[in-house]
Amino acid sequence: MRNYLKSGRQAIQWLYFLIIGLAVTEAIKTLFIKNQVFELPSLTTLFLFLIFFSFVTRFFMGAYRVIAYDIEVELRRPKIVIDSIGFFLQALAFYIYAISYQNFASTQWMIIIICVIDLVWLVLLAAFWHIMDETFGQWSIHNIIMTGFVLGNIFWWQSVEALLVIAWVAFIVDFGYNREFYFALKKSIGLRIFVAGPYGDNEPEEVIAANVERAKQVGKELALKGHYPFIPHTMLHGWEQDDRFKIEDFKRIDYKWLEFCDALFFIAESKGANEEKNEATKKGLQIFSDLSKVPIANK
Q: Would you list the domain boundaries of the chain? A: 2-182, 192-293
**Tell me, what's the pLDDT at 35?**
85
CA proximity to 97, closest of 154, 44, 49, 58? 49
Name every residue whose Cβ is closer than 8 Å to that of residue 226 and which is 6 or more positions away in sequence.
188, 190, 296, 297, 298, 299
- Residues 8-26 pLDDT 10s: 677 888 899 999 999 999 9
- Residues 82-100 pLDDT 10s: 888 899 999 999 999 999 9
Q: Report the CATH fold assignment for 192-293.
A: Rossmann fold (3.40.50)
CA distances from 43 to 28, 29, 33, 85, 223 (A): 15, 16, 15, 36, 58
pTM: 0.64
- Residues 221-248 pLDDT 10s: 999 888 999 999 998 888 888 889 888 8
**Tell me, what's the pLDDT at 1?**
46
Q: Residue 104: is its pLDDT beyond 60?
A: yes
Give 34: exposed, middle or buried? Use CB within 10 Å, 0-12, 13-18, 19+: exposed
Q: Residue 34: is its pLDDT beyond 90?
A: no
CA distances from 266 to 182, 220, 247, 263, 291 (A): 29, 15, 20, 10, 10
Percent of the chain topping pLDDT 90: 60
Task: Among 29-38, 69-78, 193-202, name the one with the lowest average pLDDT.
Answer: 69-78
- Residues 238-294 pLDDT 10s: 888 888 988 889 889 999 899 889 999 999 999 999 999 999 998 889 999 998 888
Q: Residue 170: is its pLDDT beyond 90?
A: yes
Task: Among 37-51, 85-99, 131-145, 214-228, name the one with the lowest average pLDDT.
Answer: 131-145
- Give the model's confidence band at 143: pLDDT under 50 very low, under 70 low, under 90 confident, else very high: very high
**Tell me, what's the pLDDT at 96?**
97
